[in-house]
Structures are given as structure tokens and as C-alpha cells.
Amino acid sequence: MLHTDFYPFPTITTSRLLLRELLPADDTAIRDLRSNPDVNTFLGRPPAIDLETARQFITSTNNRFANAEGLYWVITALPSSQLIGTICLWNYQPQDGSVEIGYELLPAFQGKGYMQEAITAVLTFAFDRMHAALVKAMVVEANLRSIKSLQKQGFTEIPAEKEDQLLMFHLTRK
């Protein structure tokens, strides 16, 4: 059975990162992340958002956590508490014990191993604390860096589940 009810919000610490709850004070950083054209290249969302839209996103994201519908972490590089990216677990499917992972990272922090470290920590959380049997990821076919990140973690592509330009990847408990 997939366990999705976590209170208080589960903070995760790695050797270089702190994964923490999204806070109202993150509004400017969320606006900057979600309006960055490089970050949005493969995400299929509008290229820019304003501060009010960022605040609405924070509220709706935190409401999803309150309703046990998802976990959304801010990624910070220690010792700073400044947002450099985000990572989430969402789309819980209790019937098969699956959950989907999603992530994004500001370009200035890409290529430094931060996302691999964050994904590793969140996968450990998904399998050990949530008791997930399967973690899924959907990636745009052209997003080679994200595909490589997933493959490094042991994800395998499920070719039969390709839809449009999205590839589906699965990882089961080792």
C-alpha cells in the first residue's frame, strides 16, 4: 500500500542539499524558475509568469500536500536556503503502488550533480517511506539531459507507452 500521508512536511538532507517545503517567501524564486525559458523548454508551460501567479502556484502546491496529493520540495544547495530547483512526487496510484517524479533546476546549477543527488534522495524516500512499488517519469523525447539523469538512476524506457513526444520511464524497487 502506497503511504502518502506525511505530517509535518518531510525535509530531506543530503551531503550538499536541503530539500524543504515550499514557502510563501519563495514567491520570487518560483517566478524566476517557472518563467526561465531554458527551464521551460521541455515542460510545455507558458514561458513567463508573474509574482501573483507564483503565489497562487505556491498556495495550490501546498494545498496538494495538505490533501496528501503530492510532495513538492524546494532544492537548496547548502548552506544556503535559496531555491535552485524543485523536485516532486505526485500522481499517486494506490492500486499499483506507483508515483510520478518531476523536477526542474535553474540553468546556473545544472551539470554539477545536484539533480542526481536530489533524485537519489527522493527515490529513497519514495521506496522506503512511501512504500512505492514503482516510480514513473515522463520526459520530452528531446530532453536528453533529463533522460540521461533517469537512466543513471536505473530508470528504463517503456516504449509502448510513448505518447506524442513524451517518453515514459519506470523504476521499480531494487
Structural domains of the chain sorted by starting position, each given as residue range(s) with its CATH number in brackets:
12-133 (3.40.630.30)
Q: pLDDT-derived band of residue 52, with 50, 70 and 90 as boundaries?
A: very high
Q: Is 37 exposed, middle or buried (0-12, 13-18, 19+ CB in 10 A)?
A: exposed
Nearest to 87 by CA among 169, 146, 171: 146
pLDDT at 11: 97
Across the range 125-147, mean pLDDT stands at 93
* Rounded Cα gap, residues 30 and 129, in angstroms: 27
The tens digit of pLDDT for each residue in 69-126 reads 899 999 999 999 999 999 999 999 988 999 999 999 999 999 999 999 999 999 999 9
Q: Return d(Cα 84, Cα 60) in angstroms, integer.
A: 20
**pLDDT tens digit sequence for 20-44:** 999 999 999 999 999 998 888 888 7
**pTM for the full predicted model:** 0.93
